[in-house]
A and B are shown apart, each in its own frame.
Chain A
Amino acid sequence: MTQQRGEQEIRAVLAKVWLDSQPRILERLTKLEQISANLRAGVLDEKCREDALEAAHKLSGALGMFGLSMASSCAAEIESLLAQVPLPESVALTPLLARLRGLLENTETPHTADLENHGF
């Protein structure tokens, strides 16, 4: 069946893209942690904030696409906080970043949600 073949192939593609994306995901997380440290030190400028927003935005989109809904929601929450004016205190970001890192470090492979129920 075309659909079953498509599901198998999309699983394989997701697994490959997931592996390829690991350096970028960790780089974005590290960037957010650095920016959180800058915020704590009171040296966060608008460019840094824009970079952080972009990193959180991309993390949220990519992680959700891989089926990592909790990590995606965590990144989206970080993005929402960074979009606030004035910027939140760093204490609001730190636990979210720690949680996100923990979620990512405990994830070995992506999982799409219940593929069998997604008839097309």
Chain B
Amino acid sequence: MDIPVGKTLLVIDDDRDIREVAKASLELVGGFTVLTAESGPSGVAVAQQATPDAIILDLMMPEMGGQETLAQLKRDPGTACIPVIMLTAKVHAAKQHLVDRGNASGILLKPFDPMLLPRQVCEILGWSTSEKDEATGDSAAG
């Protein structure tokens, strides 16, 4: 797998629409390189292979949910240091005990605004937009 230059994010969500829009938002608006996975197990595999700079992980997925996926990522020394942002609906965000906040870097609420998502990611991870822009140059739309 070719690893692109610049900040790379991995989006793990079982909903195809969410994956497509999140990827477009983070690439076209944010200038990130984005990998996607449709399940917890495939997300763990992609993370192990590509070691992205951060992971956006849906909390509510069938079979292997976000919490279990997060636990697997943190157990593996190769992925343990990758910051993970949990993606969850407002109705579940009220129950923050569902998210292992000791291991997750933050929470993003669904539904998200595609125009705001990149900035929210940067804020949670403490990445300045200029830092990201320097990493990606002027290739944000490419």
Closest chain A CB from B124 CB (angstroms)? 15
Closest chain B CB from A47 CB (angstroms)? 12
Set B18, B20, B29, B89: member contacting A76, Cβ < 8 A: B89
Q: Does A115 contact B (CB under 8 A)?
A: yes
Set A9, A113, A115: member contacting B28, Cβ < 8 A: A9
Interface centre among A7, A57, A69 (most CB of B within 10 A): A57
Contact across chains for A118 and B91 when beta carbons are under 8 A apart: no
Q: Report the Cα distance A112→B25, complex, angstroms.
A: 12
Contact across chains for B113 and A113 when beta carbons are under 8 A apart: yes
Q: Report the Cα distance A7→B15, complex, angstroms.
A: 23
Contact across chains for A118 and B116 when beta carbons are under 8 A apart: yes
Closest chain B CB from A57 CB (angstroms)? 6
Q: How many inter-chain residue pairs (CB < 8 Å) link A and B?
A: 97
Q: Does B60 contact A (CB under 8 A)?
A: yes
Task: Return chain B residues, CB-CB under 8 Å to A60.
Answer: 89, 91, 110-111
- Nearest A residue to B136, CB-CB: A2
Closest chain B CB from A46 CB (angstroms)? 14
Contact across chains for B29 and A7 when beta carbons are under 8 A apart: yes
Contact across chains for A17 and B30 when beta carbons are under 8 A apart: no
Closest chain A CB from B74 CB (angstroms)? 25
Contact across chains for B89 and A10 when beta carbons are under 8 A apart: no
Contact across chains for A6 and B28 when beta carbons are under 8 A apart: yes
Q: Does A106 contact B (CB under 8 A)?
A: no
**A contacts with B, residue count (CB < 8 A):** 34
Q: Does B119 contact A (CB under 8 A)?
A: yes
- Nearest A residue to B23, CB-CB: A13
- Nearest A residue to B58, CB-CB: A61
Q: Report the Cα distance A6→B21, complex, angstroms.
A: 13
> With A61-B89, A76-B90 in contact, do A6 and B111 touch (Cβ < 8 Å)?
no
Q: Report the Cα distance A20→B89, complex, angstroms.
A: 22
Q: Report the Cα distance A29→B53, complex, angstroms.
A: 37
Contact across chains for A120 and B110 when beta carbons are under 8 A apart: no
Q: Report the Cα distance A110→B10, complex, angstroms.
A: 26
Task: Return chain A residues, CB-CB under 8 Å to B140.
Answer: 2-3, 5-6
Q: Report the Cα distance A113→B16, complex, angstroms.
A: 22
Q: Does B71 contact A (CB under 8 A)?
A: no
Q: Report the Cα distance A108→B131, complex, angstroms.
A: 39
Given contacts A60-B89, A120-B116, 5 further A-B contacts (CB under 8 A): A2-B31, A58-B15, A61-B15, A65-B110, A65-B114
